[in-house]
Chains A and B, each alone.
Chain A
Amino acid sequence: MKLFEHEAKAIFSKHDIPTPLGKLADSPTKAREVTMQLHTPVVIKAQVTVAGRGKAGGILFANSPTEAELAAKKLLSTRIKGTKIQSVLIEEKASIRKELYFGITIDRSTRSYVAVASSEGGMEIEEVAATMPEKIIKVFIDPLYGFRSHHARQIAKKLGYKGRQMLNLATIFHKQYEVALSYDAELAEMNPLVETSEGKFVAVDTRLIIDDNALYRHPEFKKRLTEIEAELPPQELEARKNGLAYVKLDGNIGVIGNGAGLVMATLDAIKLYGGRPANFLDVGGGATANKIVAALNLVFSDPRVNVVFVNILGGITRCDEVARGILEAKMRTGFLKPVVIRLVGTNEEEGKRILTDAGFHVLDSMEEAAEKAMAIVKSGG
């Protein structure tokens, strides 16, 4: 789960990482009041979790409470990449001497956390890694030993700092590691971490992404989960409620399958035959008839879908159960759009019998089924 900047900052600040003086505002009037208590100029930042906020116009500056009010009004009435802005964070603008990057994330290939630092802060770290790999400092963290204070000092030194500054910076790095671990972070990042003209360090922008699988250890974010659900497009919300993994795509062939890899391969096959998939939908392992009904309703609800391709390879999923689900959905809602079914694996004979008796044509090969779905699209559905 991605936390908002202000939430991440509150956590960092609680762990003694310096952040700019500032406050949240959810209305232009509040923005004026907040700014009156701060030193101008201030920065007004849209609180959204989508990436690329700055480029999308989500960060504005103001020299007075009135300007801040106008800026907040502007931001609170717009959307960034489709997301409505609920609040803005208003902060004193830091005097920047240098922008640094520091983050703790997971390195899949070494199966460990890794500390990443760079003297080129303020831009996306992937961008730095791609264009100036020599500017990236990486320290892999031994899980049984941890990120020690001398590791932190080593990084601060490599960034070119000495004396008191080196020690201060190292302390911030070490604290961030503690935050990352205690909050089960997939990513804990300060970008930029600013060196001010007075030589102090301030985390000007922060990101904290919590591992969804660890949320049971952080009940304080339960409320945020419901808020996220309120922001979801209706189809994704419906999928979540029914335990389906769903991603909307931009084509017209609806796809339902069991197993993430198989569904991805199905999308690829459709593309290979010149078609465009409308969605990714994985019913998971051991899907019941009810889940199949929910999946079909979900895909049918997309107005762009001309044909639905159901691709099931039964392992723990039973073909007869899937067949019953398809029949049930047909009885409840009637199929207004054609459905192509590929069904093999556990209890295949029973599943095929149920569907054939009901007038469905069931195929054995996923390639054949993909071609058939394409033919239907080409003939105009």
Chain B
Amino acid sequence: MGIFVDKSTKTIVQGITGTQGSFHTKLMLDYGTQIVAGVTPGKGGTQVHGVSVYDAVDEAVKKQEANASIIFVPAPFAADAAFEALDAGLKTIVIITEHVAVKDVIQVMARAKKQGATVIGPNTPGIITPAECKLGIMPAHIFRRGTVGVASRSGTLTYEIASGLSAVGLGQSTCLGLGGDPVVGLSFVDVLREFEEDEQTKAVVLIGEIGGNLEELAADFISAEGYSKPVAAFVAGRTAPRGKRMGHAGAIIMGRAGTAQSKIDAFTEAGVMVAEKPSDVARLLAERLKKKGIFTGGMSGT
């Protein structure tokens, strides 16, 4: 269970012969992810950590019945890799690569929408459904299987908050990074919809930051749709100056738009629990879930 990926997910790794691709293929295999093939044009016929490498995605998909792809291809070629995965009919595509040109990303997303495919990223740590499948670069030991769905615009901040959740005994159904770029495949609203349908998920955590209006749109969606599951949020960048990029390409306050305060206000108005500090997320959520009788507290595994 969880969303987008689970134990039935069969993945190919595009760019498997590169340093990052090869390194993370090993870690994903160790986690139990079904990596059925790798693709690097020109390296077909070789093997990486026991995984067969093909020249083309469609070949790998046909031979190994894959249904997802994770992309570690360098930025100038990452969009082409995504198009190849889409053309081969894959429905879940994770783009780890950072610094992909936005014009290319826009094309990829339009094509994906037409084909009904889900793109996670670019510039994302990936997605993990604990104890089932990890398609990403996140440190696996932080995550525990459980009932909290997490969607985030930041990598390390996700680890910070997920480890806080795990520490109080709140495991996760699925954790995913939307990606730190201005244009990414998923919005908080898309993910909220998925978590609403997922039986394993009993509560949702959204980790936002300055820039854009994904958080405001999520808040509108939560109040308009009468979202049924408790939602907690943290928004990074209360102290960020206007017009400066804070590390992520998408983390920038333009004119009046995209401030942390605007996002915090929207969430608060929609009844979302907004944490002042990352560590408050687990505490707020645990209190709420105890009140609802969904969570009894205590450490996981005890």
Listed in ascending order, the chain A residues whose CB lies under 8 Å from chain B are 51, 106, 108-109, 111-113, 124, 126, 130, 142-144, 181, 184, 186, 211-214, 216-217, 245, 247, 249, 257-265, 267-272, 277, 280, 282, 285, 313-316, 344-346, 365-367
Q: How many angstroms between the C-alpha atoms of A133 and B196 in the bound complex?
A: 34
Q: How many residues of B contact A (CB 8 A)?
A: 65
Q: Is the CB of A315 within 8 A of B155?
A: yes
Which residues of chain B from 7 to 38 have a CB within 8 Å of any chain A CB?
none
Shortest beta-carbon distance from A40 to chain B in Å:
36
Q: Is the CB of A264 within 8 A of B210?
A: yes
Interface mask (B239-268 → A, CB under 8 Å = 1, otherwise 0): 111011111111100111100100000000
Q: Among B100, B101, B241, point to the contact of A217 (Cβ < 8 A).
A: B101
Q: Among B154, B239, B277, point to the contact of A261 (Cβ < 8 A).
A: B154
Residues on B with beta carbons closer than 8 Å to the beta carbon of A313: 156, 159-160, 163
Which residues of chain B from 89 to 126 have a CB within 8 Å of any chain A CB?
99-103, 105-107, 109-111, 114, 125
Q: Among B110, B157, B255, point to the contact of A124 (Cβ < 8 A).
A: B255
Shortest beta-carbon distance from B108 to chain A in Å:
9
Residues on A with beta carbons closer than 8 Å to the beta carbon of B155: 259, 261, 285, 315
| Most chain B C-beta atoms within 10 Å of own C-beta, residue among A217, A264, A282 | A264
Report the nearest B residue to A107, measured CB to CB.
B183
Q: Is the CB of B277 within 8 A of A315?
A: no
Q: Is the CB of B157 within 8 A of A259?
A: yes
Residues on A with beta carbons closer than 8 Å to the beta carbon of B110: 111-112, 142-144
Residues on B with beta carbons closer than 8 Å to the beta carbon of A247: 241, 244-246
Q: How many angstroms between the C-alpha atoms of A248 and B254 in the bound complex?
A: 18
Q: Is the CB of A267 within 8 A of B139?
A: no
Report the nearest B residue to A185, measured CB to CB.
B103
Shortest beta-carbon distance from A106 to chain B in Å:
6
Which residues of chain B from 207 to 243 have a CB within 8 Å of any chain A CB?
207, 209-210, 212-214, 217, 234, 236-241, 243
Report the nearest B residue to A314, measured CB to CB.
B139
Q: How many angstroms between the C-alpha atoms of A51 and B243 in the bound complex?
A: 10
Q: Is the CB of A261 within 8 A of B152?
A: yes
Q: Is the CB of B101 within 8 A of A109?
A: no
Q: Is the CB of A130 within 8 A of B256?
A: yes
Q: Is the CB of A280 within 8 A of B247?
A: yes
Q: Is the CB of B75 within 8 A of A268?
A: no
Q: How many angstroms between the C-alpha atoms of A245 and B98 in the bound complex?
A: 14
Shortest beta-carbon distance from A273 to chain B in Å:
10
Supposing A260-B248, A260-B251, A314-B139 touch, asked if A265 and B157 sit within 8 A by C-beta, the answer is yes
Q: Among A143, A186, A345, point to the contact of B107 (Cβ < 8 A).
A: A143
Q: Is the CB of B154 within 8 A of A109?
A: no
Report the nearest B residue to A244, measured CB to CB.
B247
Chain B interface secondary structure, helix, strand, loop or mixed?
A: loop
Q: Is B276 an interface residue (CB 8 A)?
A: yes
Q: Is the CB of B277 within 8 A of A367?
A: yes
Residues on A with beta carbons closer than 8 Å to the beta carbon of B149: none
Q: How many angstroms between the C-alpha atoms of A351 and B301 in the bound complex?
A: 27
* Number of inter-chain CB pairs below 8 Å: 168
Shortest beta-carbon distance from A309 to chain B in Å:
13
Interface mask (B272-297 → A, CB under 8 Å = 1, otherwise 0): 00001111000000000000000000
Supposing A262-B160, A315-B155, A365-B279 touch, asked if A112 and B247 sit within 8 A by C-beta, the answer is no
Supposing A264-B236, A314-B139, A315-B138 touch, asked if A106 and B106 sit within 8 A by C-beta, the answer is yes
Q: Is the CB of B101 within 8 A of A211?
A: yes
Residues on B with beta carbons closer than 8 Å to the beta carbon of A270: 239
A-B residue pairs, 7 tightest by C-beta: A261-B154, A260-B247, A259-B156, A261-B157, A126-B255, A214-B101, A264-B236
Q: How many angstroms between the C-alpha atoms of A213 and B210 in the bound complex?
A: 20
Interface mask (B153-170 → A, CB under 8 Å = 1, otherwise 0): 111111110010000000
Q: Is the CB of A113 within 8 A of B244?
A: no
**A–B pairs, 30, beta carbons within 8 Å:** A51-B243, A108-B214, A111-B105, A111-B106, A111-B110, A126-B257, A184-B103, A211-B103, A213-B75, A213-B102, A247-B241, A249-B239, A249-B241, A259-B155, A260-B154, A260-B246, A261-B155, A262-B160, A263-B246, A264-B246, A265-B160, A267-B238, A268-B236, A270-B239, A272-B276, A280-B246, A313-B156, A313-B159, A344-B163, A367-B279
Q: Is B53 an interface residue (CB 8 A)?
A: no
Residues on B with beta carbons closer than 8 Å to the beta carbon of A124: 255
| Most chain A C-beta atoms within 10 Å of own C-beta, residue among B103, B155, B238, B245 | B103
Residues on B with beta carbons closer than 8 Å to the beta carbon of A130: 256
Q: How many angstroms between the C-alpha atoms of A64 and B105 in the bound complex?
A: 50
Residues on A with beta carbons closer than 8 Å to the beta carbon of B99: 213
Q: Is the CB of A267 within 8 A of B156?
A: no
Q: Is the CB of B138 within 8 A of A108?
A: no
Q: Is the CB of B157 within 8 A of A108?
A: no
Q: Among A142, A217, A258, point to the contact of B156 (Cβ < 8 A).
A: A258
Q: Is the CB of A268 within 8 A of B239?
A: yes
Q: Among B109, B163, B213, B241, point to the contact of A111 (Cβ < 8 A).
A: B109
Residues on B with beta carbons closer than 8 Å to the beta carbon of A186: 102
Shortest beta-carbon distance from B244 to chain A in Å:
5
Residues on B with beta carbons closer than 8 Å to the beta carbon of A346: 139
Shortest beta-carbon distance from B169 to chain A in Å:
18
Residues on A with beta carbons closer than 8 Å to the beta carbon of B67: none
Q: Is B187 an interface residue (CB 8 A)?
A: yes
Q: How many angstroms between the C-alpha atoms of A212 and B181 in the bound complex?
A: 12
Q: Among B236, B246, B247, B250, point to the contact of A108 (Cβ < 8 A).
A: B250
Q: Is the CB of A143 within 8 A of B237?
A: no
